[in-house]
Chains A and B, each alone.
Chain A
Amino acid sequence: MISAQDILLDVQHLSQQYALPKPSLFAKAGHIQALNDVSFQLAAGKSMGIVGESGSGKSTLARLVMALEKPTQGKVLFKGQDLNALPPDSLRVARSDFQMVFQDPYGSLDPRQKVLRIVSEPLHSTLKQSSGQALSAQDLKDCAAQALTEVGLRASDLDKYPHEFSGGQRQRIAIARALITRPSLIVADEPVSALDVSIQAQVLNLMMDLQERFGLSYLFISHDLAVVNLMCDDVIVLQHGRVVETGSADDIFQHPQHPYTQELLSAIPGLSH
């Protein structure tokens, strides 16, 4: 087990219900249980993979860990703090320590903003409040330039717009935006699913390099089991919002116990040769 002080993220009995639209005015609204009693711990510098099919609750879990919505039940403890118990201002400051990378590098970058603005945005909203004063324009630019170099882009790219970049480069920009606050945790929701194979490999390598360099933890959501196997120490298999199997990536992928995990593995094309 992980020793108490190494625990970065402690998810306890997390459940989330969403109300369904009422079928008629007087009918009782139904509910959908998107997440049902999910618990896990993630240590600093480690990666946790979340696998499952669409509708299994992967993205709901990501939103709850990012404190973008409140769970119906359970807690998300980040560095020992209950994120949902924090007052809004403190939560905003705490956000600099956990950032997110989304699936679609076309939808997740504002097309009307230059890369400088996109990458430095998290600094505007978080650091300003913690130190009580705004960073100077030059400081912002320096931080953004450094974040861009860390993901393999150039400082001169700061003055460009997202449409001038390819899909893989855009995902690098999204990673730079997540890195700029020096977070301990990055929640990556299908970060390479929209990329071509050869570009996907570049971005995965970059994510592994950054993890070693900065001691990052990843909560890595993917439907691609081979990618999760490569990127993650531990894995959670979700089905209909429940954890059906959890363990080290090696155990789960080599000796899957639950029939659903076995089914997922056997459905990977090209393995039966």
Chain B
Amino acid sequence: MTPAHNTPLLSVRNLRVALQTSHGQLEALRGVDFEMQRGETLGLIGESGCGKSLTALAIMGLLPDRATVSGSIALHGSELTQMSEDTLCTLRGARMAMIFQEPMTALNPLHPIWKQIAEPLQLHQGMDLVSAKARALELLDRVQLPRARERLDNYPHQLSGGQRQRVMISMALACQPDILIADEPTTALDVTVQKEVLALIRQLVAEDGMGLLLISHNLGLMRDQVERVMVMYGGAVVESAYTKALFERRLHPYTQGLFAAQPQLGLKRGTRLQTIAGNVPEIFNWPQGCAFADRCAYVKDSCRQALPPIELVPQMAHFKESQETDKPRQLAEHWVRCPEWQKLEAAA
């Protein structure tokens, strides 16, 4: 398999996922599109139930059995949605790997950590147990687990939350995947530990030139970690931009609301936060059109009829200059699924 020079590492096209629920078949992802090259870092941000994790699970081929997938997910040009489970197994853990939010539940409590790190090595690289254990030690050293040699035989419950997450990362990196998906990797950790773990992920991704898909609900974290951000709401990406550009200029009403609702250090005591009226709709109440329509002050009739189309935003001059010229055009774009973004920007 020799991919053509310009084949993206990961290409997701019009990805739709429908789930079988007690309310019938419901579309939980409503057309997600993006592309990623090696060495690129991309963030998915949004509130619970917006489809962030579902996107990750779809890419990993870990959706529940009764989920229906349409659209395309291609890794190095080979289509994953049509792949047999056996073929997927040869890619999962080898070419693409995932770090989960809660390391205690993602690790097996009954096996010492070295065995869990050795498993992908035995499975994908045919290593024998002895060399896999030696490699596990190298990997634990690489993720800077203190006293790694003594800890090889430890069980997950003997480690702290941050140490467990380091073990998870070493498992994910064992076979040097091309793409790393991290789903809220530090949400369960204290801030000081979070800082160390994020720095570690950033360093490892840069060293190995992996693609990183980072899922988080934390805006500040996105700002530190990824070049590009996609904002999700109600199963759709509503805005996509360079992180820097998004922090200067937010054009979707939901993105604006999300940023404004976040308390910032230095706000005067008692300042009321800006809120978004209403609640996040439950999936069985998602409207046909834009899921944000009922909470939006700028809503038009067309928003309620169908998901608004993607509109390209002309970029501000200083972003044009700072962009690397060899990046594919699509990645550089700032786009928004809102017909009224110009009005919103004028009002801001």
Contact = CB atoms under 8 A, between A and B. Distances in A.
Q: Do A and B bind each other?
A: yes
Contacts of B271: 230
B191 A53 contact: yes
Given A229-B263, A269-B221, A264 B192 contact: yes
Interface residues of A, number: 42
Contacts of A225: 265
A267 B280 contact: no
A250 B195 CA distance: 24
Contacts of A201: 261-263, 273-276
B277 to A, nearest CB: 9
A188 B265 CA distance: 20
Contact of A226 (B247, B258, B264): B264
Interface stretch (B84-92, B212-220, B316-324): B212-220
Interface string A185-198: 00000000000111
A269 B218 contact: yes
A270 interface: yes
Contacts of A233: 269
B269 A249 contact: yes
Contacts of B263: 201, 204, 224, 226-227, 229-230
B272 A205 contact: yes
A168, A196, A208, A254 — most chain B CB neighbours (10 Å)? A196
B240 to A, nearest CB: 19
A229 B223 contact: no
A78 B265 CA distance: 31
B267 interface: yes
A208 B262 CA distance: 16
Contacts of A208: 270, 272
Given A196-B280, A198-B261, A230 B269 contact: yes
Nearest to B261: A201
A199 B261 CA distance: 8
Interface in A184-238: 196-202, 204-205, 208, 212, 223-227, 229-233
A223 B131 CA distance: 42
Contacts, number: 112
A270 B269 contact: no
A166 B280 CA distance: 9
A197, A223, A254, A266 — most chain B CB neighbours (10 Å)? A197
Contacts of B269: 229-233, 249-250
B266 interface: yes
Given A198-B261, A230-B270, A253-B266, A269 B220 contact: yes
B53 to A, nearest CB: 14
B265 A197 contact: no
Contacts of B190: 53-54, 223
B270 A198 contact: no
B265 A229 contact: yes
A273 interface: yes
A269 B275 contact: no
A263 interface: yes
Interface in A91-113: none
B247 A198 contact: no
A264 B263 CA distance: 16
B311 interface: no
A20 interface: no
A267 B47 contact: no
Nearest to A209: B272
B279 interface: yes
A137 interface: no
A138 interface: no
Contact of A197 (B224, B262, B266): B262
Contacts of A268: 191, 220, 265
Interface in A251-273: 253-254, 263-273
Interface in A166-186: 166-169
B200 to A, nearest CB: 14
Nearest to A51: B191
B279 A168 contact: yes
A127 B56 CA distance: 52
Contacts of A249: 269
B257 to A, nearest CB: 6
A223, A225, A230, A273 — most chain B CB neighbours (10 Å)? A230
A205 B275 contact: yes
B268 to A, nearest CB: 8
A230 B267 contact: yes
A226 B220 CA distance: 12
Contacts of A267: 191-192, 194-195
Nearest to A273: B223
B48 interface: yes
B17 interface: no
Nearest to A233: B269
Nearest to B244: A273
B208 to A, nearest CB: 22
Contact of B217 (A197, A212, A223, A271): A197
A233 B268 CA distance: 10
20 contacts: A53-B191, A168-B279, A196-B48, A197-B47, A197-B262, A198-B257, A199-B280, A201-B263, A205-B272, A208-B272, A229-B267, A229-B269, A230-B273, A232-B269, A250-B269, A267-B191, A269-B218, A269-B221, A270-B220, A270-B223
Interface of B: 47-48, 161, 190-195, 198, 217-225, 247, 257-258, 261-267, 269-276, 279-280, 282
User: Which 9 interchain pairs have the tightest Cβ spacing?
Assistant: A270-B220, A201-B261, A201-B273, A269-B220, A196-B47, A53-B190, A269-B221, A270-B223, A267-B191
Given A197-B47, A198-B275, 7 more contacts: A196-B48, A205-B272, A226-B267, A229-B269, A230-B269, A269-B221, A270-B224
